[in-house]
Chain A
Amino acid sequence: MNTLHRSLLSCFCVGAATLLMLGGCSVSQATKDAVARADTRYQQAQQTLGNSEGSAFELQRAKDHLEQAKKAVKDNDEKPAQRLAQQAELDVELAVAKSQQATARKAAAELQASIQQLRQETERSTGPTR
């Protein structure tokens, strides 16, 4: 009776432990890493881009996706967590690309304007003077 009791108890313990482990492992380490990486990239992008033009929308979307990903990790939803982390990372990458695009486009436009102005000044100073 005592042995039976013991083996029943140990059975129960193993079962409970397995259940606990299953619960704890339902979001893989790889996905947790992916969420953490997306979080880091988001923080970096937010620091470097700040409120720079052209990327605010993408940064906000990255933040939303990231928060949902963290929630999915908590809720042990493997697939949504993994997908949301990936989406957040793509949002961040687009935000960075858009910010660089805005900077380059602005510089290109300013350069064109300065060429235009220089041309007009040249016309004015050498044209009607003589």
Chain B
Amino acid sequence: MKRNHLSIAAASAAALLAACSSTPESIPELDTAKAIVPQVESSPRAGVAATNISEARKALDRANELAAKGKDAEDIKFEASVAAANAQIAATKIDTAQAREEIEKGTLERQQVQLEARTREADRVQQELRDLQAKQTDRGMVLTLGDVLFDTGKATLKPGAYSTIDRLAQVLNSSHNSRVVIEGHTDSVGSEEMNQSLSEQRALAVQSALMQRGVSGSQVRSLGKGETTPVAGNDTASGRQANRRVELIFSQDASRVAAEE
């Protein structure tokens, strides 16, 4: 009888020890859940994963309760793993939300950088055109090629025009946002038809010279205005000479951005 009592005591002690060995500290799944659930709960973006976070908290509470009552380790592990899985899903959703915020900010930043790049490009082009004696007008930067750069009464450019044409081609090649409209003009000597034709051919000669130097056709347009747009009186020789000219009107294409080139 006494022996029997002893063995019962030993068995109870063993049972107690066993119960002790399954206290929360000894279940790694529970430790993990305890560590990561509060992390996602305290995230400033917790709202994007509210359901997962609430499920994680409920499962962790169940696991803690089971552990406190010394219940089966498998049950505790299961609840803890549900808590941990929900917390991991929440953490992933939170990071996704953060990445999307970065994309939103980055998109704005990119637009700003593009705008800045365009502004700097436009400034550089304007400076280079100013160096070529272009004038700022209400039509934009306008460069005038005088009559002396053409053979008299003809549409062929004299070699004296080449250095200007070379530099213009460089400017246009370095700035694909730049556009130029080339307008030919004449004085009123001779027939209107003749003057119209000569003005068109001179404008076209300048366009061809630029395109021979690699400028894209989409950047250049040419037209003849004949004798319709004089800048001086046609009654003096100097006035007529001023009227015989080719004008290059520059602009920046607003619809294109540097990065898309």
A residues whose Cβ falls under 8 Å from a Cβ of B: 83, 86-87, 90-91, 93-94, 97-98, 100-101, 104-105, 107-108, 111-112, 114-115, 118-119, 121-122, 125-126, 129-130
Contact = CB atoms under 8 A, between A and B. Distances in A.
B174 A129 contact: yes
Given A87-B82, A125-B174, A126-B117, 9 more contacts: A83-B78, A91-B85, A93-B52, A93-B89, A94-B85, A101-B95, A111-B106, A125-B121, A129-B174
A115 B99 contact: no
Contacts of B127: 130
Contact of B110 (A100, A114, A126): A114
B181 to A, nearest CB: 24
A121 B117 contact: yes
B102 A122 contact: no
A90 B86 contact: yes
Contact of A97 (B78, B92, B258): B92
Given A90-B86, A100-B96, A107-B99, A118 B117 contact: yes
B102 A108 contact: yes
B114 A98 contact: no
A97 B96 contact: yes
A108 B106 contact: yes
A107 B88 contact: no
A57 B121 CA distance: 49
A126 B118 CA distance: 10
B82 A111 contact: no
Best-buried of B117, B127, B174 by chain A (most CB within 10 Å) = B117
Q: Is the interface of B mostly helix, strand, loop or mixed?
A: helix
Contacts of A118: 110, 113-114, 117, 258-259
Interface of B: 52, 78, 81-82, 85-86, 88-89, 92-93, 95-96, 99-100, 102-103, 106-107, 109-110, 113-114, 116-117, 120-121, 123-124, 127, 174, 258-259
A121 B89 contact: no
A115 B106 contact: yes
B29 to A, nearest CB: 12
B56 to A, nearest CB: 10
Given A118-B113, A118-B259, A122-B113, A111 B92 contact: no
Contacts of A93: 52, 89
A110 B99 CA distance: 12
Nearest to A55: B92
A87 B81 contact: yes
13 contacts: A87-B81, A90-B89, A94-B92, A97-B89, A97-B93, A98-B92, A100-B96, A104-B99, A107-B103, A108-B103, A111-B106, A126-B121, A126-B124
Nearest to A107: B103
Contact of A119 (B82, B96, B102, B113): B113
Contacts of B123: 126
Contact of B96 (A101, A115, A121): A101
A87 to B, nearest CB: 7
Nearest to A106: B99
Nearest to B131: A130
A90 B92 CA distance: 13
Nearest to B91: A97
Contacts of A104: 96, 99-100, 103
B99 A86 contact: no
Contacts of B110: 111, 114-115, 118
Contacts of B100: 104, 108
B113 A115 contact: yes
